[in-house]
Amino acid sequence: MSPAWKHIADELQALADDCALASSNEPDPVEARLLQRESVLLTRTAVLVRSGMAPASLASAASDAVVFSSDDLLVWGMSHDGERALRQMADDPHVDVHQIDPALVLAAVLGTRPSGPYA
């Protein structure tokens, strides 16, 4: 796995952990549910990336997603569009967060054009 993919997997898991923690402290039940669903989406996507099974078509997006690289330091950030797409998936009652293809979530958070309503 390339350093970019490894770093993105680590960042996705860190974001998932942050969402899970935030959901456990969120007083608004609707927002807590959305954060929990985002956490599941991000965790499943991190697992996909770590498995080495991320679609090859997203390799250039993964490299582009690394916004700073210097020796062992890599900085990655989800775009505003990626955050919006993730929130839309979490908010969609028709999306089973345990069954949706994590490659679709990965494409969305990398800011590529996934197929479906999250493009």
What total of structural domains would you count in the chain? 1
Structure confidence at residue 56 (pLDDT): 81
Closest CA to 82 of 106, 117, 46, 54: 106
Q: Is residue 22 part of a domain?
A: yes
Q: What is the pTM of this model?
A: 0.84
Q: Could you tell me if 12 and 54 are in contact, meaning their C-beta atoms sit under 8 angstroms apart?
A: no
- Strands, E assignment, 1-119: 66-70, 73-76
The tens digit of pLDDT for each residue in 87-116 reads 999 999 999 999 999 999 998 888 776 555
Cross-strand partners of 76: 66
The tens digit of pLDDT for each residue in 11-52 reads 899 999 999 999 999 999 999 999 999 999 999 999 999 998
Q: Is residue 18 part of a domain?
A: yes
Domain range enclosing 46: 3-109
Structure confidence at residue 119 (pLDDT): 44
